[in-house]
Structure 1
Amino acid sequence: MSPRLLFRIFAFAELVTWAGLITALVLRGTGVSEALVAPAGGVHGFVFLSYCVITVFVWVNDRWSFGTGVLGLVTAVVPFATLPFELVMDHRGKLGRSWRLGAGGEQPRNFIERVQAWVLRHPWWSLVILAAGVTAVFSLLLWMGPPIPKS
């Protein structure tokens, strides 16, 4: 899977989960149902964390500037902003068609690139570690509770 396709999938997933969360919040606010807020918030939180990890991964691969990488992360906080960001980055040719640090690719130059090269050369182990890490962070955040307490 190319960096471009991976980023596109997660940018769209982030948009969809924002829509689900906002819909659930509107339903709660109008008194229709509160039952959808927890699952919609949980799914959105998981996709949010995953999008952030993928954004950093693509940022390193495609050598985005610091400002561009931070903007990519900030778009996850703004409802529906990830897809326009992805479209602009793709239009500007800033989403790679291949992994430059993959097997047979460039040699990593620093710690972050060495980590990315290892991940690309050991994809199954990386998925297990990534899933465990995102799940651990997600579980910690669930344990801490929602960002805005219910009144």
Structure 2
Amino acid sequence: MNRLTPRSLFRSLAVAEAITWALLLTGMFVKYATEAVSLGELGVRIFGMVHGVVFIAYCLVTVIVAIDQRWSLPRAVLGLAAAVPPFATLLFEVYADRRGLLGTDWLSREDSPTALQRAVCWLLRRYQLAVGLLVVAVGLLTAVALAVGPPA
């Protein structure tokens, strides 16, 4: 069984984010460019929710990987910004991988120089808790996004 690495985790979320973009764009196409408006509305509603959840998960994982792999702030912001345009997460993943920004080992240790890196280390050592907290954070952020409403 393959172990979870920064590279495999980030790649999985980057691909998932791009796939959900494709689904959402497909739903929008059906809604606005065909006669099947009600089917398109359902597609946009479903795929929009799925995309929103994966978008939030991608952003949270990007922050964790950026802290652990010691990305500069501009690179971390670029990784987060890649979630906005369709399919840009795939381009950023290739960029990051080619520059060695996605390691096969987690770098954060208990003696890491920053508190954020030590916090990531603490989370990574408690894998089940980390997954649970990620799910809760995605759920809470999704609830906030739903309360705020769709983008205008």
Whole-Å Cα distance in 1 between the matches of residues 8 and 51 of structure 2?
Answer: 20
- How far is 1:71 from its partner? 0.4
Output the aligned Cα RMSD.
1.2
Partners of 2:27 and 2:44 in 1: CA distance: 5
Give unpaired runs (5+ residues) of structure 2: none
CA contact (8 A) 1:15 1:83 kept: yes
Q: Deviations over 1:117-149 (max 9, x none)?
A: 11111111111122111101101211322112x
Are 1:56 and 2:63 counterparts?
A: yes
In the aligned structure 2, how far is the partner of 1:58 from the partner of 1:129? 16
58-67 or 37-46: which moved more?
58-67
Equivalent position of 1:66 in the other structure: 73
Partner of 1:117: 121
Q: So what's the TM-score if we normalise by structure 1?
A: 0.91
Q: Secondary structure at the match of 1:35?
A: helix
Whether the aligned pair in 2 keeps the contact of 1:100 and 1:106 (CA below 8 Å) is no
Does the alignment pair 1:19 with 2:22?
yes
Task: After TM superposition, give the deviation of residue 16 of structure 1 in Å.
Answer: 0.3
2:7 to 4, 8, 19: 4
Matched, 1:28 2:35: no
Structure 1 residue 83 displacement after superposition: 0.6
Match of 1:138 among 125, 142, 148: 142
Q: Is this contact kept in 1: 2:110–2:122, CA < 8 A?
A: no
CA 1:106–1:128: 2 relative to 1, 3 Å: closer
Q: Over residues 17-50 of structure 1, what are the superposed CA-to-partner deviations in whole Å (9 max), with x where a residue is unaligned?
A: 0001111111111242311111100000000000
Structure 1 residues 106 and 97, CA gap change in structure 2 (3 angstroms)? farther
Query: Mapping of 1:67-86 within 5 angstroms?
Result: 67-86=74-93
**What is the percent sequence identity of the aligned residues?**
41
Q: CA deviation at 1:106?
A: 5.6
SS in structure 1 of the partner of residue 70 of structure 2: coil
- The one-letter code matched in structure 2 to 1:23 is T
Q: Which has the higher helix share?
A: 2
Aligned to 1:47: 54
Q: What's 2:101 paired with?
A: 94
**Number of corresponding residues:** 145
Q: 2: CA distance between counterparts of 1:126 and 1:4?
A: 17
